[in-house]
Amino acid sequence: MIFLKTEDEIELLRQSNLLVGKTLAEIAKIVKPGVTTRELDKVAEEFIRDNGAIPTFKGFPNQKGEPYPASICTSVNDQVVHGIPNDTVLRDGDIVSVDCGTYMNGFCGDSAYTFCVGEVDTEVLNLLRTTKEALYLGIQNAVQGNRIGDIGYAIQQYCESRSYGVVREFVGHGIGKEMHEDPQVPNYGKRGYGPLMKRGLCIAIEPMITLGSRQVIMERDGWTVRTRDQKYAAHFEHTVAVGVGKADILSSFSFIEEVLGDKAI
């Protein structure tokens, strides 16, 4: 069932999502060679809790009912999504996609950003830039009167025209009092297909784009998804409210960009 949000509910969603953006900015301050993803997780959880919220990912069950053990997802290089923070040390030239969720005042926040670790190859930088640009093309289509397929079509066409892979198995989603609500929001699709979008629909749009094949595999931990061909993948995500003529982006990358300066994607 699709739940449309009131203006007051959208403002509560905005608060949760802005906290996600600020949390990702705290992570941006310490992403560098020599840092472990577990350290990133520690910083994120402390910041979220210090701001009166809880990390929604921690304890969230997978398909087997196993609880997620951390507060953020840290997916390094060929990991697409749901990488578990651990003692792996980030190295120069790596990328790490950080997905973060908060729960505050009864509503959820959800956003993701892919960070460069040190100096990254131009080929990989182009993947990150394309993925982020595709996110905003998808957002442009999140307006009343369009259909969900219009979002996926925009993302898919942009990325595939540049010979990147578009992951099919994992998609965006509705968001509100629950982290995952209806409808699903694929990063592929056809114009004019899928649920009709109305003002007040709040969704997380999150292109997951690969440098090679779109085929992915699940690791034995039951969470981590990586590319089958072991080529890099990027992930950017915003939570938005469908509007009339223009979507309202509830999350923010501006806090991250303030930290990274001219190194921002």
Query: Which helix (H) or strand (E) covers residue 230, if one does?
Result: none
Tell me the domains of the chain and their CATH numbers: 7-263 (3.90.230.10)
3-state secondary structure of 136: helix
Low-confidence ranges of the chain (pLDDT < 70): none
Write down the pLDDT at residue 120: 97
Write down the pLDDT at residue 216: 98
Residues near 208 by Cβ (< 8 Å), separated by ≥ 6? Answer: 80, 81, 131, 166, 167, 170, 187, 233, 234, 235
Q: Greatest CA span in the chain, whole angstroms?
A: 48
3-state secondary structure of 254: helix
**C-alpha to C-alpha distances, 230 to 33, 125, 217, 233, nearest whole angstrom:** 21, 17, 10, 9
Write down the pLDDT at residue 63: 83
Q: Could you tell me the pTM of the whole model?
A: 0.97
Distance linking the first and last C-alpha atoms of the chain: 36
